[in-house]
Amino acid sequence: MNAHFFGRFPSVRLRRLRELPKIRRLVAEVSVSPRNLVLPIFVRPGKGVRRPIPSMPGHYQLSPDLAAEEAQAAFQLGLGGIILFGIPEYKDPRGSSALRERGIIPEAIDACKGAAPELLVITDLCFCEYTSHGHCGILGSLPGQREPTVDNDRTLAELAYQAVVHARAGSDVIAPSGMMDGMIRTIRAALDGEGFHHVPILSYAAKFASTLYGPFRQAAECAPQFGDRRSYQMDPASDPGQALREVALDLEEGADMVMVKPALPYLDIIRLVRDHFPGVPVAAYQVSGEYSMLKAAASQGWLDEKGAALELLTCIRRAGAAIIITYWAKELAPLLEKSSPVLSPQ
């Protein structure tokens, strides 16, 4: 940028564009609307169940009837949609409860759509919540390794079946999160084979092995019983080009939208994906750790919670995310103008 071309102080005073709120609104280019936000909901069997999640104040494990009330509230707030995570009645090594036609996710889809037929319902597709070992698929072993790991190729068939179960139940968008190689191709083929050509796939294409998932694992009761998920989720220290390769492969295999997870620590990845794949909707997941850290700081009076949360959402949008999955969706939606939302500092 050539300072001579743009001029110098005192003839140039950039504060002129910041002095009045109405001028700040006029020149602002980054906006956040309720329609950009997706609310995660954790669903468990039962009726009238509202079980607090200690590490995520304000969020609960809900039975389908109460999840339906959340769905209705989300629709009334103008949110872009909800994403469902299931806590099943039982767990086993295969995660077979995820494959039941009347399992917890199909039941929740039915309840939410009954309460809010026009609301977009996304379903997370994985096995970590359903397996007794807490990993994202069927376990196997590799030569020379003592500890078992997820068998990628055997897991693909299970993911395909699970996707069809969700689609039959009425899921509007399938969101596979397991980071298995080839999962998008397999899921797309299964959906198309059952006549669900119209159901889009939102791939967790660049999902990093982050420490910020801790509160979620409590919420979804899916902490690994041994080891970790670093053998299939992305290494935070990897070259950013690996994330681009993951995204490119998923798009080639049939993904319609792609996600970067977590959001705030990976704003650079969001921007790279947006720049390298124009026209592809990019989602970002503002994960449980991002939420809980700010909640904890706010509870001590160290931060203005809503102001900080709005700032974080603005930064994620500025980086290039069109869709933000966030635990603040319900809290912040009333603060955002539905018609022409522009965040203005207080």
Q: How far is CA 314 from CA 7, 29, 46, 260, 296, in A?
A: 30, 10, 37, 16, 21
The Cα–Cα gap between 225 and 52 comes to 23
The Cα–Cα gap between 178 and 261 comes to 12
Q: How far is CA 26 from CA 13, 33, 311, in A?
A: 17, 17, 18
The Cα–Cα gap between 237 and 234 comes to 9
Question: Torsions phi, psi of 74, nearest 5?
Answer: -60, -40
The helix or strand, by DSSP H or E, that contains position 40, with its residue range, turns out to be strand 37-43
Using CA atoms in the order 264, 269, 270, 276, what is the torsion angle rounded to 10 degrees?
A: 170
The Cα–Cα gap between 39 and 332 comes to 11
Cis peptide before 10 (omega within 30 of 0): yes
261 flagged as catalytic: yes
Catalytic position from the list 113, 207, 295, 330? 207
Catalytic position from the list 22, 47, 113, 261? 261
- The per-residue DSSP string of 126-139 comes to -STTTBTT-SSS-E
The tokens for 5 are: 């071309």
91 flagged as catalytic: no
Residue holding tokens 């069809």? 164
The Cα–Cα gap between 300 and 100 comes to 44
Q: Which residues are catalytic?
A: 207, 261
